[in-house]
Chains A and B, each alone.
Chain A
């Protein structure tokens, strides 16, 4: 391994070219800052986003392995991304907001953590992002939605799968609304409308879905931001006093170690990698890792416990149509987080577009069907299947954490090791939600219903924000308590998970960071 320590200097280094990093880079570059965006993975272009669930796996995590344990592993390989755009390149574009009660979980329920800011503090940034990116939805139909500007785009159409399942919700006395998605229902801001063909998970090459390649990255690049791919940051460097960062060391595509200096550094490498970078940058001033004198870096790791419900209906449902993230949403009961023996809000994302293969594809929903029975099942399901997924709230627990493993990667850097468990109250919440979902499907007329396994969807926490340095890693602007010019961005900052998809919130937080 060669070492090149020419001290090139920029105003701002952003580590990670995903949803949060691109917002930060775009805003800073537009403000005239000299910005370098370091991305561990390869470049991505829209034309790379081929319509294949097999090829789509290139978009998932391809860096050093992340070790996982616990009764609900975080699913890093599935939930993370690799390359320009990060996990936002394969996001489903479901963009509900956190609710007001998600910000005060500890104060209200003596569980988990509070945010250092309220929904009202974050609302202007949600509204700003929404106006820039474009969200399709029906704000009036979403009776659960916190106070917010109306959506700039009309809702996406509801196809037969959605209509069929909606009848089940209605029969059970539950409401549904068009799902809020960062996907254009019609053209918006020079981006086209969606074609409704269900390839969101493989990455949307048309520009209808608001991935970073068509939203913030072009703004960053056109304002002079330099994007460096295949740049794996090895450590963050600080001054002699240990109170300011001065730059980063990274390994380039050729395996050479390079050093880049900056006035400010923003880590936006997703929840696990942000924590890992802080931990692996230990020094004499920060022996347990940067900003970790209180042993909080890596802790409060969260993932949404999620389970899908499936059914076969007598009518044709056309399950290949619409967004992968779903056509409808139900957040009935979201406000009631705590009941005896149960804790956590949950939401239903209803009528997700289906493909035949892959982890969430039709065939793998029924691993018990093998041999000659499989083809008839696949043929029937391709026309008559319905599905939806419940996404539940996780409770931030200090024991759930990212640590450094004794195993090393090819560059001699320790691997990240993650532990994530959920407790009885969360398990019961998930089980109750699934039971409700099965009732809904029967009420919708499904002839056969089944459920998938519980899995971890989205990753949050690990470098949580808070008012008190004794209980948090960063302040309400993402600035590390112990290093005044080191900032964190992304879902790793979340002190609570809520039960909604995190991309909208993490982009609003990134805007909040920049003021």
Chain B
């Protein structure tokens, strides 16, 4: 069982907290497991939705651990959280509700379009869902616009897929670090 699935299964059991060390993404050779204990702030279904949609937006995001990344960062205080969302005019205290509302909205949109859960959608169905979300076409969507929410989670996915030394190398860009971070995130 890969680490990501272990994490998702652990959350599905309703554990209040998980240790990030137990959900180190595979395929990231330089990643050193964090010992930070991340409070589970998103439901298992929400994390699965996040992982599923991010994988369609940025292939490799699921395996790189985007759901672990977001979950970990949401548990951190304002001064140490690393999410790009902090640049985008959303107050830190509203970050969890931002992700909850967005992921709940995606699930609702999936049920509305296909009468099934987002995580059960085929690739083509997910693409169709994403297209609708990017066009802000769901009238019963609440909170930040769906296109903005997708922009944010796509950026999160790009962080874990392309923002590491391995990610640089995968697109042929020299990393040239002055100081290599001891953890990728």
Q: A residues within 8 Å of B by Cβ?
A: 41-42, 47, 49-55, 57-58, 60-63, 65, 67-68, 73, 75, 77-78, 82-83, 195, 197-199, 204-206, 320, 355-359, 361-364, 367-368, 370-372, 374-375, 378-379, 381-383
Contact = CB atoms under 8 A, between A and B. Distances in A.
Interface in B108-133: 127, 130
Which of A199, A357, A378 counts the most chain B CB atoms within 10 A? A357
Given A51-B178, A356-B163, A370 B154 contact: yes
A68 B171 contact: no
Given A205-B178, A378-B171, A370 B57 contact: yes
B29 interface: no
Contacts of A368: 134
B59 A375 contact: yes
Interface residues of B, number: 47
Contacts of A206: 178
B84 A382 contact: no
Interface of B: 56-59, 77-84, 86-89, 91-93, 127, 130, 134, 151, 154-155, 158-159, 162-164, 167-168, 170-182, 184-185
B167 A82 contact: no
25 contacts: A41-B79, A42-B79, A49-B179, A51-B176, A52-B164, A52-B185, A54-B184, A54-B185, A55-B185, A57-B84, A58-B80, A60-B87, A62-B78, A62-B86, A65-B91, A73-B89, A197-B176, A356-B171, A357-B163, A358-B163, A359-B84, A361-B162, A363-B154, A371-B56, A374-B58
B80 to A, nearest CB: 6
A68 B59 contact: no
Contacts of B181: 50-52, 54-55
A62 B174 CA distance: 30
B82 A357 contact: no
Contacts of B164: 52
Given A50-B179, A198-B176, A370-B58, 11 more contacts: A42-B79, A51-B178, A55-B181, A57-B83, A199-B177, A358-B159, A364-B151, A372-B59, A374-B59, A381-B171, A382-B171
Contacts of A382: 171-173
Nearest to B157: A363
B171 A375 contact: yes
Contacts of A62: 77-80, 86
A379 B172 contact: yes
A82 to B, nearest CB: 6
B155 A364 contact: yes
A466 B17 CA distance: 55
A383 B175 CA distance: 13
Nearest to A83: B79
A63 to B, nearest CB: 7
A57 B185 CA distance: 11
Given A73-B89, A75-B87, A51 B171 contact: no
B170 to A, nearest CB: 8
B43 to A, nearest CB: 25
B56 to A, nearest CB: 6
Contacts of B177: 50-52, 199
Contacts of B93: 65
Nearest to A360: B87
A357 B155 contact: yes
A53 B163 contact: yes
Nearest to A375: B59
A485 to B, nearest CB: 32
A381 B172 CA distance: 10
A213 B43 CA distance: 42
Contacts of B56: 370-371
Given A65-B92, A357-B163, A358-B84, A371 B171 contact: no
Contacts of B83: 57
Contacts of A362: 162
A371 B78 CA distance: 31
Given A357-B155, A371-B56, A51 B179 contact: yes
Given A356-B162, A358-B163, A199 B87 contact: no
Which of A47, A57, A73 counts the most chain B CB atoms within 10 A? A57
Nearest to A208: B178
A214 to B, nearest CB: 14
Contacts of B87: 57, 60, 75, 77-78, 359
A93 to B, nearest CB: 15
Contacts of B176: 51, 195, 197-199, 320
Contacts of B159: 53-54, 357-358
A47 B178 CA distance: 10
A53 B167 CA distance: 12
A142 to B, nearest CB: 29
Nearest to A49: B179
Which of A47, A62, A372, A383 counts the most chain B CB atoms within 10 A? A62
Contact of A357 (B57, B151, B158, B180): B158
A364 B180 contact: no
Nearest to A57: B82
Nearest to B179: A50
Contacts of B59: 371-372, 374-375
A57 B162 CA distance: 16
